[in-house]
Amino acid sequence: MSLAAPPRPFAHTPRPETRRAVPRDGILLRPATTADVGPMRDFLLSQYDTFNAIDNTPEGHRVFGDFVAAPALRARLEAGSVVTVAERHGAILGVCEMHRDGYLTLLYVHGDRQGRGLGRRLLVETLRRLRAEAPSARTIRVRATPYARGFYARLGFRPLEAEARTDRGLRFYPFVLDLDAV
């Protein structure tokens, strides 16, 4: 007869808003904080320069720079944007930002982590948080960069137009995802 209590699987299940499971690849997905705005800005500008700058005009470069400036990121965080950071050993490897109305404004993954499911994980986690914080959201809209167009199509987003559009020097393809179908 054993005196040890039988093992209790899932004995401690953290509340959804605090869970921080780290998968085998060591990449932690977590809510962004205002302390992240500087490193997020640096990461976003680096990835934009590598993958998106070629598609945009000098005006578009300025618009993007202003959008990801630390004061702008901080203001959106404080206003309630749902922002998820992917990090490993303190280095940011991805960022996903979604407004409470379902507008996906940023989804960037470090170049050497692309094609490994991190973008999907960031989007799924951000959607999970959005649904908890704004359950009335029914669609996700995104202005996909030419570089990311295939990524959104593979995830089930529906293109709204076949041709690229340009707004303030930024080229994009509008896509939508119906959350009731997901």
Residue 137 has pLDDT above 50, yes or no: yes
Residue 6 forms part of a structural domain: no
Residue 134 forms part of a structural domain: yes
Say what the pTM is: 0.86
CATH number of the structural domain spanning residue 150: 3.40.630.30
Task: Tell me the pLDDT tens digit for each residue of 28-61.
Answer: 999 999 999 999 999 999 999 999 999 999 999 9
Domain that holds residue 165: 27-181
Task: Tell me the pLDDT tens digit for each residue of 56-104.
Answer: 999 999 999 999 999 999 999 999 999 999 999 999 999 999 999 999 9
Q: Can you tell me the distance from the alpha carbon of 139 to that of 135, in angstroms, rounded to the nearest whole number?
A: 11
How many domains, in total, are found in the chain? 1
With a pLDDT cut of 70, the percent of the chain lying above it is: 87
Rg (CA), the chain: 18
